[in-house]
Structure 1
């Protein structure tokens, strides 16, 4: 059985210390609190993950920020939905919004991973 590998790259924490980490990528972590940027400067509380779920505001909002790796945020978002026990989601709607977010970034000529721009 294959295990999901967790990224172990060191990240300097500039903001709040993260809660207990359940899954970790290079920029985002899913924690007992919700989703947190590894540097501690941005977070989404677990109780807000499905806020206005019909419009999927978190992937759409974070997808407009050039400092966000959208692929990793979307992965963290989906992992958080599962690990925090949300099972009542409209997967077709989520796929549509994720696709629109990525198409918008491509249309605007954004790099795939735009971590160069400041917040």
Structure 2
């Protein structure tokens, strides 16, 4: 992610489903668009005709549909949580249409992943 940020590339869909491990056991970040086909329940259209991985998107991006390198930092943090929980889905019981309200209401969203 540091490599991408230095080159001002914004990923917008960083999650464990978009990572692969090479022969040397290095994790490589991908976005081969197959994730939308393989994991359709991770993507939701919030009324703007754009499917997004709502549970991995920072509040500001959900509300304004704007992405920055800081947005990828949030998603990276969520991805690390996925890895530490052996692939659990973040905010699994949360209605995707309520994610923005939930993130606005919690005192510290960085702690409230599940």
TM-score (norm 1): 0.22
TM-score (norm 2): 0.23
More RCO (CA 8 Å, sep 6+)? 2
> More helix per residue: 1 or 2?
2
